[in-house]
A and B are shown apart, each in its own frame.
Chain A
Amino acid sequence: MSAVSSRSLAGLLGPFFFLFILFWLVPLIGGLRLSLHSNTLVGEGVFVGLEHYSELMEDARYFKALRNTSFYAFFTLALILPVAVVFAHALQSLGGRLRSLLQFAMLIPGLTPPAVLALLFLLVFHGRQGLLNQWFVMPLGGQPINWLKDPDVILMALIMQCAWRWVGFITFFIHSGMQAIPGMYYEALEVETHKAWHRFRWVTLPCLRHVILFCLMYLVVDAFALFSGAYVLLGGSGGTADAGLMLVSYTYQRALAFGEFGSAAAMSVSVAPCLLGILGCVVWISRRWAFKSGGHKA
């Protein structure tokens, strides 16, 4: 399909990019401007050039936040994706009614309103009285862990809440993807091998490529650009010794808690290329992967 009439192209892309320009590009330019002006709480600041950016480079908290966020993104991915694949597999092995029911149950955490999550996490991750300690840590003979105050475990608590919230959704997607795989692929493979692992490696995984890619992106973006988890758990702060300081929570702190809109804007802008790089890598890897497994199938 090479010849494309500009009319239908405009029809297809026009509406989206119309809103894109109006409600994204224009504010973005405003955001960039903001990042080049001084931090004033009221009205527009003075032009300061790249001062906020150079300040960032000397800000230890910024790098701490960057480190925490990368760590968080990596471990949520490493935790959620395999678990979701296992769950999806487990769902496959169940019958209709039960399967729908379980699948539905798994989606609940993702549907719960943030206001309730804040309360719930307070009770789950609370110190000695918290559910996690009362039901899991202490019965297993462990010392109660102060999840949200002990700097060594804050990040772990953050990762756990993320896994808990999103694993159901990711499972849902992967499972849907699995169901869409035509049975004949498996039958074709049966000629060559009977090992379950091979079926998974050579049919399921390649067919789920796009779904997994999408989930991957969603989780990376959730870690870097969405605020929900950190906000709900730590209320926009970084916790003891900034052990749970995420980039978004730091941005939020600077902008709305401290009124330093310019610095906050600079911070957000500075993350974009880095995140774009990560996403680019993800896409690139998946392309290569597609090529390799496609080659094998042929």
Chain B
Amino acid sequence: MKSHNGPSHRSFERWYWGLWVLLPMAWLFVYPFLWMFLSMFKGNQEIFQPTTLLPEQWDLVHLRRLLAGEWFPFWRVLGLSLFMAVGQALGAVVLTSMAGFAFAKLRFRGRSLLLVACLFTIVLPRQLLVVPLFEWVHRIGLHGSVWGVMFPGMVSGLGVLFFTQVFRQVPDAYLETACLEGANEWGAYRLLLPMLGSCLLSYGLIHFILAWNEHLIPLVVLGGAEQQTLPLALASLYGSSLRFPYAALMAGSFVAMIPPMFFFLFSYRRFRDALSNVILS
């Protein structure tokens, strides 16, 4: 059970201590997922019995109807959501890591001012910006376009701060070596990137999840039934009428959780590799 990247101070800690703490907690964390999964099979009254976990019958009819696009063009909506969330996360990681590198490693005038400006993007709630943003996005012709959602989403002050911190941790020696070899700042940045794979991935992960569940901006900017993201489509099923089978909402949400999970599983392995690289070098 020796882990290649854990610290070697496990001798005094009994492994089951961790298990003791974590297993009951794990149940607490997994429960909603389980409940959601099992609710796919349930009828409406069954779902609203809080202590009922297991369904009366195991019938996947709601999932099938959902995937067949009975309520909304499921696959297109899913594809669009994926494209937008991945694109937004990718864009945010690239842009903010570049800015973060500049803030952490380069000295220039107005640096603190710009950094404070980035801080501002975090602290002002979206509700303030949504009306003017909508007007502006419309004016520049991005209304009803995925870019109208993705570009604003990429302006992530949190990302800039994150990467500023990350790059600060990188010893200047690396940079000096790079410069000795004749690379400019841009080259140094590109050189450092592979070393920070884990950080890039973990920020990408956060941003992906935020973008994936984002509600307000897509609601306002996107238009038309053709252009729905999964959260929007699912929310529209929640009507004032209750004839709609909630099991389909559960099925939809279950499917909606798969991409972030997959993304996480995928990045988790990379994550550890990247970490060990950092440690070994």
Contacts and interface: CB of A to CB of B under 8 A. Distances in A.
Interface of A: 1-2, 4-5, 8-9, 11-13, 15-17, 19-20, 22-24, 26-31, 33-34, 86-87, 89-96, 98-100, 102-117, 119-120, 123-124, 126, 129-131, 134-135, 164, 168-169, 172-173, 176, 178-183, 186, 196, 199, 210, 213-214, 217-218, 221, 224-228, 247-248, 251-252, 255-256, 261, 264-265, 268-269, 271-272, 275-276, 279
B172 A109 contact: no
Please list the 4 inter-chain residue pairs (A to B) with the smallest Cβ-Cβ separation, ordered nearest first.
Answer: A30-B132, A268-B128, A90-B18, A93-B18
Given A129-B50, A248-B125, A28 B30 contact: no
A4 B50 CA distance: 62
A87 B35 CA distance: 24
Given A9-B102, A114-B215, A268-B124, A20 B155 contact: yes
Contact of B122 (A33, A93, A176, A217): A217
Given A113-B253, A214-B162, A218-B158, A13 B29 contact: no
B240 interface: no
Contacts, number: 297
A291 B8 CA distance: 27
Given A264-B127, A275-B123, A106 B26 contact: yes
A268 B122 CA distance: 12
A105 B25 CA distance: 9
B22 A90 contact: yes
B61 interface: no
B131 interface: yes
A279 B155 contact: no
Interface string B84-104: 000000000011101101100
23 contacts: A4-B185, A15-B94, A16-B98, A17-B114, A26-B132, A34-B132, A87-B21, A93-B13, A96-B1, A96-B3, A108-B29, A110-B209, A111-B257, A114-B213, A116-B253, A119-B246, A130-B50, A168-B29, A183-B8, A210-B168, A256-B127, A268-B124, A271-B125
Most buried by A among B7, B14, B231: B7
A9 B123 contact: no
B169 interface: yes
A170 to B, nearest CB: 11
Interface footprint category on B:
35 or more
Contacts of B132: 26-31, 33-34
A41 to B, nearest CB: 11
B63 interface: no
Contacts of A87: 21-22, 25
Contacts of A169: 206
Contacts of A100: 268
B28 interface: yes
Nearest to A211: B165
Nearest to A225: B125
A4 to B, nearest CB: 5
Contacts of B175: 1
Contacts of B272: 179
Contact of B125 (A20, A164, A224): A224
B160 A16 contact: yes
Contact of B185 (A9, A183, A210, A279): A9
B51 to A, nearest CB: 5
A265 B168 CA distance: 36
B117 to A, nearest CB: 7
B186 A115 contact: no
Contacts of B119: 276, 279
Contact of B261 (A11, A111, A124): A111
